[in-house]
Each structure stands twice: as C-alpha cells, then as structure tokens.
Chains A and B, each alone.
Chain A
Amino acid sequence: MSALATRPSPGLFARLGLMRPDLAIRAALAHLVLIVGALFVLLPFVWMLLTSIRKPEAVFTAGFNPIPDEFHGVENYSHALSQSPLLQFMGNGVIVCAAILALQLIFALPAAYALAKLNFRARPLVFALVLLGLTVPQQVTALPIYMGLAGIGMLDTYFALMLPFSLSVFAIFLFRQFFKSFPDEIIQAARLDGFTEFEILIRIMVPSARPAIAAFAVFSITSHWNDLYWPLVVTTSPEHATPPLGMMIFRDQETGSNYGALMAGATIITAPLVIAFLIAQRQFVRGITMTGVK
C-alpha cells in the first residue's frame, strides 16, 4: 500500500503552515468524511465478528446491546466447524486454486515468451485470439463446457472445477507484455552461449518475471477462491464444494436458527484472504487491480 502513497504534499499548504485554523478545520472535516465512510465499509466485518462471539439468545436483542456481555465464541466456532465441513471446503479451495494457478503458469509462460520474443507464422493469429479471449466472461463458455463434462461423466470432480480456468488468456497477455520489455541482447547472448530456447525460458525469462508472476498469483487465487458461478454449476455434492459454495450450503442448513455459528463460519471462510491481504498489502493491491489493465 505504501508504494501507492504519494510523498506528503509539500506544496502551498505546507509553506503557509498547517496551523492555519481554516486548514485545520478542513483536515478535520476530511477525516470526518473518511471515518464515516470507513464505518460503512467496516460495518459488516464488525457485525460479523461481534455476532460470531455472541450467545444465540442475545442475537435477538443485539440491536439494543451491540457489544456481547458474554464471550460465546468457542461454542459458535466449534459449532460452525462441526456442523458443516468448513475445513474440507477450504481444503478444496486450496487444492483447486493451487492446481488452477499451476496449470495457468505452465500453459501461459511458454506461450507468452513465444508471443513476445519468437518469430513464428501463427504469432499474429494467436495474439489476436488472446485479445479476443480477454473480452469473454467465463459465463459465456459455461454451458458447452458443462455439457461436455456431463457427456464424459466428469461433473462434480476437481477436474471439472479446474478445467475452464486451466488456460488464462489474461496470464498470457500479462506475461507477454512483461517479456516484451526484456532486453533482446541478453537472449541473444544466451543463445550464443548455447542455451536452448527452453533453457532461456526456464532459466532467464521465468525468473525475470517473478514480480509479474506474484501479482498474477494473487489475482488468480483471489478470483478462484471467491468464484461462485462455476462451482455452483458443476458441483452437486458438498464433497467438492469450494469455500463460497460451502458458505451457501452452510447458510441453507442453518436457516436462521443459529446466527452466531453462521457468522463464525463466514469469519472462517473470509479469514485466509483477509489475513494474507493484511500481511502483503502491496502485492495484493497490485495483483487485484492489475485486472484493470485487462
């Protein structure tokens, strides 16, 4: 986050001195507006956490008494974990996200290198297809891929959850842009040293792309950890449910009876990404907003 922060404005305000009362009022007003906005942003998080440690009976009077009198967190969280296989949903999420990311990198990196640095006849065509692919949302191809998976009896498997995302045209586009700016001289020198193209890719290009790979990894993991549409379409049993789908299953089980456990479940499911974001803010912001370049 700090990379995004600009240097403190040294302009006119500072030169005139911050102690001028109108400026102090202005700053106070700005903080006021930002704090009100921040309260709106934080409201569901705070309410989720408070409810997750509240006694079930106290939920009905919580409007009058927001801070729980008694800590009931242990019961709620253990209820959430025992009522529904939340940990299994999260495990599924890890498996699916890791596999998707690995496949995306395996397919995209060589293709991106080829598009950026190697001359071959089909290059303009492949690049045009990549650009075209950037505009197509996953929901457009969902029906035929679903039918294909149904045809070969592969619905409700990890394979089905990964298949449509095994190729990311966005990854190809991103890495191609990154490789494009890599100096040709180094590649030529490597060739003269007897490196094969494969060695150049693995030992020179991929290590050089580490920042882009990290940013893409954040983007890929957050989008697939949070994706609901495709898991909802292909998964029918809780056995392969990813976290968002698991959340829906859990919610439908609880149907209004135990909000404490429900909020504990929501906390457990959102925690991994929120913690990761708090630890690596800069990488997260970079990775997620990268989609804007798309």
Chain B
Amino acid sequence: MAVLAAPGAVPIRRLSSQSRVEAFTGQMFALPALLLIVGLLLVPILVVAVLGFSDYQLGAIEWSWIGLGNYERMLDDPVFWRSIGNTFLYVAVVVPGSVLSALVVAILVNDRKHFKSVYQIIYFLPVTTTLIAMSVVWHFVLNPQLGPIAGLLRALGLPPVDLFGDLDLVLIALSLIGIWQLVGFNMVLFLAGLTAIPRDLYDAAAIDGADHPWDRFARVTWPMLGPTTVFVVVTTTITAFRVFDTVAVITRGGPIGRSEVMLYAIYLEGFQYFEIGYASALTIVFLVVVVALAVLQAFFLDRKVHY
C-alpha cells in the first residue's frame, strides 16, 4: 500500500528500516502482556498440573510425589462423584431451560409493537445485578415460612415447601435461579439472530401458504436461527458449568451434599482444607471439561455465527 501511495518508487532501504522499527515496537508493545500471560496463566497452569501429582498441603514441611494418587483418590471419593453428577444435572436443567425460554421470549418480544423495550429491560435486569445479593434475596423469597411463595401456597391451602432443604428439589431450585439469571442474556443473542433473518423469507413462506405463526417458526425462524441456537447452547453450557455463587451463598453444598458442584468442591479442598495437591488434580479435571467445551465453541464460531 505504501508503495502505491508514495509518489515514485520508495527506496528499498526505507521499507526495510520501517519493518525493523515495526519488529522492534511490535515486540515492545506485546512484551508486558506476554510476561503477564506467562506469569499469570502459563506458569500457574503448569504449577497446578505438577502439584496434581503431589500430596502437598499448604504450609506442610514434608510432602511427596504420589504420581496419579490424587486421581485414584478421586475415583473413590464420593464428594467428587457427587459434585460431577450434580454439576451435570444442573447443566442439564439450566441449559434447556434458559435456552428454550429465551427463544420463546425473544420471538414474542420481537413481534410486539408495544412495550417491546420494556420487556427487554425487564428480562435483561438479572444479568446486570450482583448474583450474590440476589441469591440472598432468592433464599428469602423461597423461605418456607416467610417468603411470598410460601404465602401463596398457604393461601391455596397447600403445605409449604423448603426447596433449599429438600434433598431432591435443592438442585432444581438452584437451577431456577440459574435460568432466571441467564434468560435475558440468551434473549439478547436470539433477538440479534432474529433481526438478521431477511423479511423476504417470511413473505416467500407466506406465498407458499406458511401463514400461521407455527408454520412461520418451523419453516423460516427455526432453520435460520440454527447457528445462533447452537452457539447459545454452548455458551450457556460453559456458564452453567461454572456454577458457584448460588451454592456458596445459599446451600454450601447441602443438604447432605446434594448441591455440591465442581467449583465448590475445588474451593473447599483448596482454600478451606488447604489440600493443595488434591485440589490441583480436581482443577485439572475441571479445566479439561471447560477446554473441551471451548473447543466445541470455537468450532461453531467458525461457522459464521455473528451478531
């Protein structure tokens, strides 16, 4: 470009000095970031991987390498299996719940002439709020004695339900909060996808007799939203896998371990019991799951998913 822009021929020497300047400043500009990537990312990951083969405990004077000992311990650790099972169950409820409801909300909101932005603001509100504070509020809202839900049930003559104390319902209750927080986020992604659908397609479908909303959805909207949907599913899965806040604030893994999740287990082992070696091994398992999901995400990102 420079060659074309400059009047006459640009001397070779000048170009090469430019490229030397570029090489130098490029390195200088990238160096601080590179050092931090190494110091805050690469080295810590390596350290975690290495510590995963040790029985190190914080402050311990004597410790040793135990090879795959931590990973063998995991296989026999009921807490580990519970946390994996609970995390997957949570993901299995939150992902379809928040994706489907967001899809419905987005389609309904998109077709509205009135109050469209009011709905958007309301549904997006939970995304911006501090989940910790709202977890405290949810805990109170669902309180079996004092909450409004309990009041409603009582008014209907039904017995109160202690969602967070119930062995079978506790994960469902936490998932409900997860869905509550994610719907607005996914709605925005779907709305962007809907906006990108050319209007002519609906007109063409109408000429073909697809006039009913369901036909419009099945023949145009759903196929055209395909890439967005896949993308939303993967993103939501990654977010749901990292559930921690609600568990830490509301249930602390209880009752009797029914809401233990992966990150909470890592947090307890690492920062409460200071079992650094075992926590490191757990972290590696967590990392493998998350990276696998991220690879999946990158794969779909290549497929022209944009908004």
Contact = CB atoms under 8 A, between A and B. Distances in A.
A37 B132 contact: no
Contacts of A95: none
B127 interface: yes
Contacts of A66: 148, 151
Contacts of A213: none
B47 A140 contact: no
A134 to B, nearest CB: 7
A237 interface: no
A interface secondary structure, majority? helix
A139 B242 CA distance: 9
A12 B203 contact: yes
Contact of B128 (A6, A38, A145, A288): A288
B232 to A, nearest CB: 8
Interface residues of B, number: 114
B299 interface: no
A66 B146 CA distance: 11
A101 interface: no
B11 interface: no
Contacts of B36: 107, 166-167
A118 B26 contact: yes
Contacts of A243: 130, 132-133
Interface in B100-117: 101, 104-105, 108-117
Nearest to A140: B287
B93 interface: no
B92 interface: no
Contact of A189 (B5, B130, B147, B286): B5
Nearest to B185: A289
A259 to B, nearest CB: 6
Main secondary structure of the interface of B (DSSP, over half): helix
Contacts of A201: 29
A269 B132 CA distance: 10
Best-surrounded residue of B40, B130, B195 (most CB of chain A within 10 A): B130
Contacts of A192: 2, 6
A102 interface: no
Interface in B1-26: 1-2, 5-6, 18-19, 21-26
B103 to A, nearest CB: 12
B168 interface: no
Interface residues of A, number: 112
B19 A12 contact: no
Interface of A: 1-2, 4-6, 8-12, 26-27, 30-31, 33-34, 37-38, 40-45, 47-48, 51, 59-60, 62-64, 66, 107-108, 110-111, 113-115, 118-123, 126, 129-130, 132-137, 139-147, 150, 163-164, 166-167, 169, 172, 184-185, 188-189, 191-192, 197-198, 201, 222, 225-226, 228-229, 232-233, 243-245, 247-248, 251, 259, 262-263, 265-266, 269-270, 273-274, 276-278, 281, 284-285, 288-289, 292, 294
20 contacts: A5-B116, A9-B199, A31-B114, A31-B115, A33-B104, A41-B123, A41-B126, A44-B137, A114-B30, A134-B294, A141-B48, A143-B44, A189-B5, A226-B132, A229-B244, A243-B132, A247-B136, A263-B137, A289-B185, A289-B188
